[in-house]
Amino acid sequence: MSQSLAVLGGITAEQFLNEYWQKKPLLVRNAMPEIIGLLEPEDVQELALEEDVTARLIRQKNKNPNEWHVKSSPLTKGDFQKLPNLWTLLVQAVDHYSFDISELWKKFPFIPQWRRDDIMVSYAPKGGSVGKHFDFYDVFLVQGHGHRRWQLGQMCDESTQFIPDQPLKLLPEMDIQFDEVLAPGDLLYVPPGLSHYGVAEDDCLTFSFGFRMPNLSEMIDQVSDKFAENTLLKNPLADIARQQTAHLGEINEVEFSYLKTQLLDYLTKAPEFDAAIMAYMSESSYPNNIPEPEEVEANDLGEIISTGYKLILEPASRLLYRMQNGSLDFWANGENVCISEPFAAQLKRIADGENVVLDESFNDDAVLEDIAMLLNNAVVMLLPPQE
């Protein structure tokens, strides 16, 4: 943890987490040179036209650049004909389509996988932007191609006012505190709530490494979905020792607190909570990106043991675990995953982001059944031996 990291400009993860994370921005020149050339502008345009890809095309009117238009996917070739001078194409979850891009998450080994969301790429010609705005999540903005001028301003929150009648949540003004042009490989960390405005200086690709922040409203929704599955909760609550009353319209304090205590007592020990939280955090934001794999059987896997194949996490899938009473509880894409005990330590390594070689230690019927099940559900995938 105390090692200095090039992606953070030579400071340690510990220092970054204490001083910058969720607090203030950090600019690092040449933080991620590996990103250069992974995607070219034409690749982004092609990807945006593919089925199931989540993309948005943002256009500003030539006559009035303060008039914005947003078209969400599916996008067609026609959408790119007759573009105005100022536009931006945003493509979500490019890490789900490219191993090289998904590998770049490893540059941030100090933030656990459950906090990751996706890597978005933006493509804009000179002058293009998505306007002055803020996000409710942490983001590392990394320049992949061309140059973008970033201005950072004031902190915003739920009470911040937006420009009315626009399809984007745009800020009327920004109190500029930072003004820098990012070149390929440069990185800018922007904490949640900080207003930012990035304008392309030339044909420009910017990658946004976005981090998910859970909210209580969605957690409560998940918990109530799990409660709905528990038919025992439909049992009527027995009455309390009833006293005679002259106030027939009243729920008295004793009755009210009895009902409330019944509910709160159950909530404090409800097993549904653990399942709801794990299901929520392991759910993919882009389930359509999870591929339909070819069916494999445990026998097929037996034949490729020790031939150089590796097991890795499918980039579009989420695999998380909890350590409880000394045993590992796995969740993948919103579902609890039951696996045999001998495989747990290996699956933990995969969830931690390791590529695991399929060697002789996997030669066990129950383990091969588990692997086949995970491959058939596209939780993990096989990486063939390198030539």
Does residue 135 interact with ligand SIN by CB under 6 A? yes
Phi, psi for 14 (deg, rounded to 5) = -60, -45
Does residue 60 interact with ligand SIN by CB under 6 A? no
Give the interface segment with Co ion, choosing from 119-127, 130-138, 254-262, 288-296 (CB under 5 A). Answer: 130-138
Residue 208 or 222 with smaller CB distance to ligand SIN: 208
Secondary structure letter of residue 102 according to DSSP = H
Output the smallest distance, CB 203 to Co ion, in A. 20
Does residue 7 interact with ligand SIN by CB under 6 A? no
Q: Indicate which single residue of 60, 73, 195, 206 sits in contact with ligand SIN (rule: CB under 6 A).
A: 206
Output the smallest distance, CB 111 to Co ion, in A. 18
3-class DSSP assignment, residue 136? coil
∠ Cα 351 345 350 (to 5°):
25
Output the smallest distance, CB 133 to Co ion, in A. 6
Q: Indicate which single residue of 54, 60, 88, 222 sits in contact with ligand SIN (rule: CB under 6 A).
A: 88
Residue 123 or 330 with smaller CB distance to Co ion: 123
Does residue 79 interact with Co ion by CB under 5 A? no
- Residue 122 binds which one of ligand SIN, Co ion, none, with CB within 5 to 8 A depending on kind? ligand SIN
Phi, psi for 332 (deg, rounded to 5) = -135, 130
Strand partners, 209: 119, 140
Provide the 10 A C-beta neighbour count for residue 247.
7
- Residue 333 binds which one of ligand SIN, Co ion, none, with CB within 5 to 8 A depending on kind? none
Rg of the chain on CA atoms, in Å: 25
- Residue 88 binds which one of Co ion, ligand SIN, none, with CB within 5 to 8 A depending on kind? ligand SIN
Burial of 261 (0-12, 13-18, 19+ CB in 10 A): exposed
Does residue 198 interact with ligand SIN by CB under 6 A? yes
CA torsion sign for 119, 125, 127, 131 is negative
Provide the 10 A C-beta neighbour count for residue 134.
23
Output the smallest distance, CB 139 to ligand SIN, in A. 5
Residue 122 or 333 with smaller CB distance to ligand SIN: 122
By the 8 A CB rule, do 80 and 248 touch?
no
Crossing angle (nearest 10°) for helices 365-376 and 341-351? 40
Q: What is the distance, to the nearest Å, from the Cα of residue 67 to the centroid of all Cα atoms in its chain?
A: 30
Does residue 208 interact with ligand SIN by CB under 6 A? yes
Binding site residues, Co ion, CB under 5 A = 135
Binding site residues, ligand SIN, CB under 6 A = 88, 122, 130, 135, 139, 196, 198, 206, 208
